[in-house]
Structures are given as C-alpha cells and as structure tokens.
Chains A and B, each alone.
Chain A
Amino acid sequence: MSTTETNEIEKLANQEYKYGFVTDIETESAPKGLNEDIIALISKKKNEPEWMLEYRLKAYRHWLKMEEPEWPNVSYTKPDFQDIIYYSAPKNRPKYNSLDEVDPELIKTFEKLGIPLEEQKIFAGVAVDAVFDSVSVATTYKEKLKEMGIIFCSMSEAIQEHPGLVKKYIGSVVPYTDNFYAALNSAVFTDGSFAFIPKGVRCPMELSTYFRINASNTGQFERTLIVAEDSAYVSYLEGCTAPMRDENQLHAAVVELVALDNAEIKYSTIQNWYAGDKEGRGGIYNFVTKRGLCKGVNSKISWTQVETGSSITWKYPSCVLQGDNSIGEFYSVAVTNNMQQADTGTKMIHIGHNTRSTIVSKGISAGVSNNTYRGLVKVGKKASHARNYSQCDSLLIGDKCGAHTFPYLEVNNPTAIIEHEATTSKIGEDQIFYLNQRGLSTEDAVSMIVNGYCKEVFRELPMEFAVEAQKLLSVSLEGSVG
C-alpha cells in the first residue's frame, strides 16, 4: 500500500470516538463498595419483596467463594470490586405524562445518540424502554402491547407487578452459581428489561431497549429476562453507546431467554461502547452472560450480535437445546481495533432429539487488537440426530493484530453430524485493486469488502439495525486499513 494511502488511513484511524460525551444529571448514588448492607440497600431502594433480597444475598455469598476466571484470552487490570458504586439512580424520578416533562438534558442525550424519543413514537413498530443508567425513565407503546397481553417493562417494575413470573424464571437459565460475573450480577443487578409473551401471541413490533452507561464510576449490572410461552414470537433489540471517559467501567449483565413449545425468540445486539483511547486507556469491560433455553419442543432461539465497542468484550451467547427439534442460532460480527480485546463466541448444548444449531462468526481484527472466537458444541448422550454447522472466519487488517479460534467440539452421540470450518485471511490486494480501478477509494473498497464479508450476519438483523450496523462497522474500521 502506498504512503499516501497509509497516511490517510492513519489519519482516519486516529479519529476520536464520535459519541463521547457526559450528560450532567445529578444522580443519587450508594457509597462505593460491596457488602451485604449495600445489597440490602439496593433491594430496599427498589422496594423489592423478601425473596428477591434473599436471592441476591445467596448469590453474593456464593460470589465471595468464587475466583475471578483466568482462562479468557484477554489481559486487563482486574476491576476492584470495592471501588465501584453499585447503585445510582437519576434523582427525583418523575412520572412523565408527556415528553415535555422529561429533563431536557436527558432528551438531548438521546438526541445525540440519534434516538429522539418523539420520533420513536412516530416510528412504526418500535417500543422503547430506554434505560438511563440503572433506572428506566421512559416507556412507550406499553398500552398497545398490554392489550395483547404482552408484558414489556423494566425489571424493577416486573418485580413489583409480576413477582410470580419473575420468581419462576429468574435464574432458571443462568443460575447465580454459573460463573463469577453471573453471581455478581445476581447479587447487585439494579435494573434491566423484562418481556413476557403469552401463549400464541406474535409480538407485532420489535421490542427494543437502549442501554446507556452514564454517571462516573458506576458499574452497570443489567438483568434481562425474556419469556416466550407456547407458540409465541418475539424479536428483541438491544443497542448501546457510551460516553468517553478515563476510568474502566465494568459491565456485567445477565440475559436469560426462555422459549416454550413452538416459541421463537430473536435477540439482536449492537454493542458500541467506548473502547478506550488509542493506548487502550478507559473503555468498557463488557463481561456478559447470555443464555437462552429452548425448553419446549420445536422452539427456536436466535442470537445476532454486532460487537464493535468495549475495550474488553467477553461474552458467549449460548443456547441450551433441551426441547426436541429445537433450533439454536448464533450470528456474530466482532470487530476489534486499536487495543481492543474480544473473546467471544457461543455454546450450543444439544440435549433433546433432532436438535439443530448454526454458528456463523465473523471476526475482524485491526490495529493491535486481539480477537478470539471461542465456541463449544456439545452433544449429550441422549441427543440423537443432532446437527451442527459452524463457520468462523477471521479477517486480519494490519500485521500487528491477532486472530484466534478455540472451537471445542464434544460429541457423545454417534448419530450427530457436526461440522466446523474456520478460515483466516486478509483482504486481498487484488480485491482492493479491482475496486480502486472502478473508482472507489481504498477506504470505500475496504468498507465494501468488509460489509460483504459480514453480510451473512447482517442479513439476520432487523432492518433498522442492519443499516445502523453497516454504518457502525464503517466507523469502527475507518482508517484501520494498511
């Protein structure tokens, strides 16, 4: 590549994070640190029933016995768990009747993020439960969903209003004993989303929550639970941006999905949290436990993710295929640039008969980043006629980045058919030359090639998200070519 190109590329690579800003809203925070009192405080603030507090305390006591895992292929300064504020809520939380009553600062924040609430109402088919820090501040379309029997609200509200459902399903897919961060989350989660789709209902719109991390030094511990009853269908979107800052922020969310007989859940994520500056300072630690349980027969859970942000991403959206004929899918694009590190992938646990899973993972590493795919396909002894197809491709941009694949295949049933394929390559000089020759700049050529490379995954995203994802990808990779 010529020097002029390289210079231009460097210039673009040095672009600052476009969405970095801090909103100045007074927040009501708990003191730093973690102990049983803090947990009791969180529970009390949220006016939770006794069983919820007990659950939190059990999780906390278990967490104390656990050690922080060392096995991921990432290196970072371990978070000091006593230096985190575990509860912060926007002060004087008012109940809004209209958008005019909402704090104008907040509206501005959303506008900067490109999700003006007033437009959201007009946008057909998107109900937004916007999470500003740890407490929901605005919910739309609730009425319409309510008519159909769909519950879509914040986790704290669900604990108040639908304790039976929450109690039944929370921790049923990701028990607090699961891992270090799941235990921590179970103890201190502050809010999140809850969706319940009753029997036979097809949710008419995409449910969507915009997560936003604000307030300095607040770890965000989200808890999401989605339950689709028999023959129900739901598509859920999650997307994030975060303000720029210097200290590492820990994000340890837990997402649980439950699909009963013939139900289908589609879960799409776009993650674009602050990735740290060029030296890797700051940036979000994204340690997430996501798991879906295909509990009923013919159920289906599909994960689609586009991961471009965070200084460290560490997550494995998984499917437990318990019901016969159930289907699990995982489509992922993970982009790392500069000092970013990602260790991501999926787990497909085949338990029922005739279960099927598909894994398509596209990793793109640029700069001096490291991108790891780690996946497990496990076929239990009784899981007859299981079928899995995995494909994980890595694209390397630049000679200082790394791509790693660690696929684990554990097959315990002879009727299973498991296929795994992986490739690692770089963008061909001839491909770029071809596009240059057709009048595209190198930048655009790379963007086009990368988008083509990710198409298989983007195709799975809902329309609006797919457009956003393509833009995000170009922004993330712009100038990293060389």
Chain B
Amino acid sequence: MDKHKELKELFNKGFTSLENRLNGGTKGELHTYRKDALKRFNELRFPTIKDEEWKYTNISPVIAKYFKPSADSAVIADAKGVDRFFINRNDFIHLVFVNGRFSDELSFGWKETEGFTVTNLKTAIKDKPEIVSGYIGKNAVIEDNIFTALSSAFIEDGTFIYVNKNTVVEKPVHIFYVTNSNEEIMNAPRNLFIAGANSQIKVIESYEALSSAAYFTNVVTEIFLEEGAVVEHIKIQDEALGAYHIARTEVSQKKASNYLSYNVDFGGSIVRNNLHTRFDESGAENNLRGLYLTSGSQLVDNHTRIDHAMPHCLSHELYKGVLNDSSRAVFNGKVMVRKDAQKTNAFQENKNLLLSEDALVNTKPQLEIFADDVKCTHGATVGQLSKDSLFYLKSRGFSHDTAMRVLIYAFASDVVHAIDIPEIRDYLEKKIAEKLATGLEN
C-alpha cells in the first residue's frame, strides 16, 4: 500500500508547515492533542470494504486524490458571491468560512452577544484555551477512526459556541463552510458546541461550494448538552457534486436534555456521515431525522449510533432516502441499550424510494440490547410509490410526472416538516422540490 504511505507522508509534511505557521501556538494542551491525533493517524490504516463499518462505501477515490490541507493552499480564499447562500440576513447570526478560513467581513451578528459566545475556534483557542482543551476530543475519540484522527491533527479553525446556563439564544446561528478553490484541498473544520444547563440554541451548518474542482471536507463536530439543555442542529450538506464529504458528529447528553438533529444531504460525490449520540444521564431524549436525495453516481452513507447508556431515555430516528439514476445510499443505524438502561424507548425507521433501475440501497438497522425492560423497534422499507396513490392523483387530472413529483415530495419533505425555524424549513422544502424536479426530468 505505497499509495497510503505516500499520502500519509504528504499529511505529515502538511503538519510540519502547520506547526511553523502556528508560531508559538505549539505549546499548550491543544497541540499535544494534535500531535497525538497525528500519531494515531499514522498508526491507523485506511479502511477498505472489507471492514464491516465501510462495507458498502469504497473510499479509495478519496485516497487516490492527494488532497492538501487547505491552509497550505496558495489559493486566496475568494469570498465573493458567498452571500447568495444566506437564508435570513437580518435575524440570523452568520459565521462564514471559506476554504476552512474564517471570514471576518462576511460574518456578522456574532460579536455583540450576551450570555453566550459564538466565535470561530481560532479565537476561542486564543481567548479560552482551558475551555477548548477541556472539551475537545472528549466526545470524538481519535482512536478508532482514521478520518477523525486526520481531522483532529489539523485543528485550526471552526466554530465555537458556548451557551451559559439558563440562556436562551433567540437568533439561530447559521454557519457556512464554503469552498472556492481550483486546487484539490482538504478542509478540516472542527466544531465545538457546548450548551449549558437549561440553555437553548439552534444551529444550522451549511456546506456549499462556489467552485467545481474536487475537494475533501473532513469535519468533526462535538456537541455537549448539559442538564436540561435543548439543541436543534440542522446540517445541510450541499457540497459540489465532485466533492467528498466525511463528517463525524458526536453528541453527549446530560439529564433531561433534548437533542434534535436534521441531517439533509443533497450534494457530494461520496458522502459519509457518522452521527453518534450518547446518553450520559437519565431522562434525556433525542430525535434524529435524516434525508438523502441522490442522483447521478452519488453515494451517500449515513451511519448513526444511539447509545442508551442510561435508563429512562427516549430516542426517535427517521431517515428517508430518494434515489435516482445509478446513485447509491447506505444506512446503518445502530441502537445500543446498555445493561442497566431499563425503561428505554427507542424507535428507528429507515425508508427508501428507488426511482431508477440502477439505484442501489443497502440498509442495516441494528439493535443491540442488553436490558430487558425496554421498548425498541426498528423498521426498514425499500420500495416504490404506491400505484393506488398514483392512480388517485391521475384520476384527479394530474399528469403522470406531476403525480410522481407530488408523491415523492410528500415522502421526502416529511423529514423537514418539524423544523422549528420557518425560513430554514421553507428553504429546505423548496430545495427538495428543485432537486426532485431536475432529478425526474431524465
């Protein structure tokens, strides 16, 4: 595996130049963490389809590309045109990153905050190093995942949110990771969201591109919910169609906290999402919703894991997919109920619509249960639109295509209906309709 060695070499070189650039930032605990991550990265091997976790997702195209760490890139981040992605200019807090670099002039609403801190990670590392190193790497461990190790070795910037206890952040925080590069680069943003006791926050993460060259986003997000915290987290992945996106989100939940996740995938050539949540104390709840609309030769792989480590917790999961052309989707949902996690309720569902002959879906809902007083169900379906529904609409004067579109839209938009931010919900519904309209034309 010389290629792998070469690639590792390349990243090691990139790391040296990162160290030079950090210039003094190489002391502190955080840098020790970076170095540990790099060490682990060098020890781990790239997964192949022989690894159960990567059975259906072949990442060799990602490895074949020799992506450079983005900060090394000579390309100056050009932020022109970024504002077209903004959904609500007035009422949201905006943070914009271009090619992994924070853009001060495009971001707004983030400075004049009270009771909470929204900033870029670089600033947080400077201002609150003890908080950052107190949380970073606590949820997303580098041991078992080479991409997490790689991303962690290159921690430089990203989003840092800290909400003080009993604070309700009224304005949704909208974070944009925009890529505009003709070079093949790797962006490794790192997000750290900490919601204090009884606080509430809504965060939207958007991945967009202005350029069309292949690039690689390798993002790690860690979310901490203290007692009674409520976090609504919407991730909109709309990367360029030639891009690779590997994301890992790790959530830990304390007593009676509530985590809501919406994970919507539109873009990307190979996409892999790992969303893991863990109940650290009892009485907590989460709701994970996902939607993937794929066409062309896209591959979207969603791995979720809900760890019921404590009793009296509740989890709901609904992932839906619409697959067209020769696209592929993978769903692997694991619900784990630990030994003493009695009175656990866990419900999981995965539904897939195949629209073309060549589309392929591999789904594996998985339950691992070690407690007896539990209610756990999972369901998975793969199918087409019901002929009766189609007939009904056609008999009411809908053309075949319109009828199809209406039904698929109803199937897909169900996932985003419950989003609490009307602008985002409307945006996503429109986006779904657009993607379906173009997808169905062929």
Which A residues form the contact surface with B (CB < 8 A)? 71, 381, 394, 396-426
Contact = CB atoms under 8 A, between A and B. Distances in A.
B139 interface: no
B116 to A, nearest CB: 40
A381 B357 contact: yes
Given A406-B366, A416-B354, A399 B339 contact: yes
A420 B370 contact: no
B368 interface: yes
A396 B376 CA distance: 12
B375 A425 contact: yes
Contacts of B358: 381
Nearest to A421: B379
B374 A425 contact: yes
B271 interface: no
Contacts of A412: 360
Contacts of B367: 394, 403-405, 422, 424
B360 A394 contact: no
B352 interface: yes
B364 interface: yes
Contacts of B379: 419-422
Contact of B363 (A405, A409, A426): A409
B371 interface: yes
Interface of B: 52, 339-340, 342, 352, 354-384
A402 B367 CA distance: 10
A448 to B, nearest CB: 19
5 cross-chain pairs, A with B, having the tightest CB-CB distances, nearest first: A414-B354, A396-B372, A418-B382, A424-B376, A420-B380
Contacts of B339: 399-400
Contacts, number: 112
Given A399-B339, A421-B379, A411 B360 contact: yes
A416 B382 contact: yes
21 contacts: A394-B367, A396-B374, A402-B370, A404-B366, A404-B368, A405-B365, A405-B366, A406-B364, A407-B380, A409-B363, A410-B360, A411-B352, A411-B363, A411-B382, A414-B357, A416-B354, A416-B382, A417-B383, A419-B381, A420-B380, A422-B367
Nearest to B361: A411
A50 B359 CA distance: 48
Contacts of A420: 365, 378-381
Contacts of B372: 396-399, 401, 426
Nearest to B371: A399
A423 B365 CA distance: 12
A381 B357 CA distance: 8
A333 B379 CA distance: 20
A396 B369 contact: yes
Given A406-B364, A411-B360, A414-B354, A399 B381 contact: no
A13 to B, nearest CB: 15
A101 B327 CA distance: 69
B34 to A, nearest CB: 34
Nearest to B379: A421
A63 to B, nearest CB: 21
B368 A409 contact: no
Nearest to A402: B370
B342 A399 contact: yes
B47 to A, nearest CB: 15
A412 B360 CA distance: 5
Nearest to B323: A414
Nearest to A394: B369
Nearest to B363: A409
Nearest to B381: A419
B393 to A, nearest CB: 19
A409 B52 CA distance: 14
B364 A409 contact: yes
Nearest to A390: B380
A394 B378 CA distance: 12
Given A396-B369, A419-B381, A409 B357 contact: no
A402 B368 contact: yes
Contacts of A413: 354, 357
B384 A414 contact: yes
A399 to B, nearest CB: 5
Nearest to A408: B364
B364 A407 contact: yes
Contact of A423 (B342, B354, B357, B376): B376
A404 B377 contact: no
B114 to A, nearest CB: 46
Contact of A417 (B371, B373, B377, B384): B384
A422 B365 contact: yes
B315 to A, nearest CB: 13
B357 A426 contact: no
A409 B384 contact: no
Contacts of A416: 354, 382-383
Highest count of chain B CB atoms <10 Å: which of A412, A416, A419, A426: A412
Contact of A418 (B340, B369, B370, B383): B383
B344 to A, nearest CB: 10
Contacts of B52: 71
A407 B332 CA distance: 10
Contact of A415 (B360, B368, B384): B384
